[in-house]
């Protein structure tokens, strides 16, 4: 992947509608794409940097020629010190994708800007574009096996775990101190209750085994043609 694809800034430049149809492309045939790009969402914090190092030593320890990975970081509000630290990390590892105009917020557009950056810089490089978080446990050989067996055309692949969020929140809320100042005994009792509740969440509402609480982040993939379509759609909105 080109080294210039280390940063991405959302622009207002309209994308020609002809990109929607491959029939208008008169360029020479493109090389065969890699199977997937694995985008692991991270942040600019020191804690996140330590987790990226852990992921490189473990899940990414055995490179595979069929995939590339990038740690995706929203850098709009990063300080100059943080940007220098990220620059040093990038020089050492060459695996960061900094979204320069994107804020690290739920509504900051990070997901969309990630896909737009792929569509802008590498529209035909991958069959699949995968989004994961840095608390997602990824069995990469299995991911390659599964996505390699699916036709990457107009496709989405992922899994949703129906977590009983209300039950968890009502139990863990017992740990929060109130204005009366709970005694140590009541705090310990609440901790034991929360621990027991978490044990009960080892299985889903349908009896299916759940992932570990420590690494239980999401992962999904969309085919590259949908990534390119997002760019065209974005262009039509701005034109």
Is the dihedral angle over the CA atoms 89, 87, 46, 105 positive or is it negative? negative
Calpha distance 153→143 (Å, rounded) = 17
0.75 exceeded by pTM = no
The percent of residues in the chain predicted with pLDDT above 70, rounded, is 60
pLDDT of residue 46: 92
Calpha distance 211→159 (Å, rounded) = 12
Residue range 189-233, pLDDT digits in tens: 555 554 554 454 444 444 444 444 456 678 999 999 999 999 887
Check: CB of residue 69 under 8 Å from CB of residue 80. no
pLDDT of residue 191: 53
Calpha distance 60→138 (Å, rounded) = 9
């Amino acid at each position: 992947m080109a080294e210039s694809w280390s940063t991405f800034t959302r622009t207002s430049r309209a994308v020609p509608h002809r990109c929607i149809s491959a029939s208008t492309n008169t360029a020479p045939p493109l090389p065969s794409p890699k199977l997937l790009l694995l985008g692991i969402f991270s942040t600019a914090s020191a804690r996140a940097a330590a987790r990226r190092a852990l992921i490189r030593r473990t899940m990414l320890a055995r490179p595979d020629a069929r995939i590339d990975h990038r740690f995706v970081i929203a850098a709009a509000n990063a300080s100059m010190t943080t940007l220098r630290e990220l620059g040093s990390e990038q020089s050492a590892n060459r695996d960061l994708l900094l979204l320069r105009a994107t804020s690290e917020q739920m509504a900051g557009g990070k997901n969309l800007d990630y896909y737009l950056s792929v569509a802008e810089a590498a529209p035909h490089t991958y069959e699949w574009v995968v989004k994961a978080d840095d608390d997602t446990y990824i069995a990469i050989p299995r991911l390659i096996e599964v996505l390699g067996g699916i036709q990457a055309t107009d496709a989405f692949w992922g899994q949703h775990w129906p977590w009983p969020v209300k039950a968890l929140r009502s139990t863990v809320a017992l740990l929060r101190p109130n204005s009366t100042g709970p005694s140590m005994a009541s705090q310990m009792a609440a901790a034991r209750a929360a621990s027991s509740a978490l044990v009960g969440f080892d299985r889903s509402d349908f009896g299916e085994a759940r992932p570990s609480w420590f690494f239980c982040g999401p992962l999904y993939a969309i085919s590259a043609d949908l990534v390119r379509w997002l760019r065209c759609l974005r262009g039509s909105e701005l034109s």
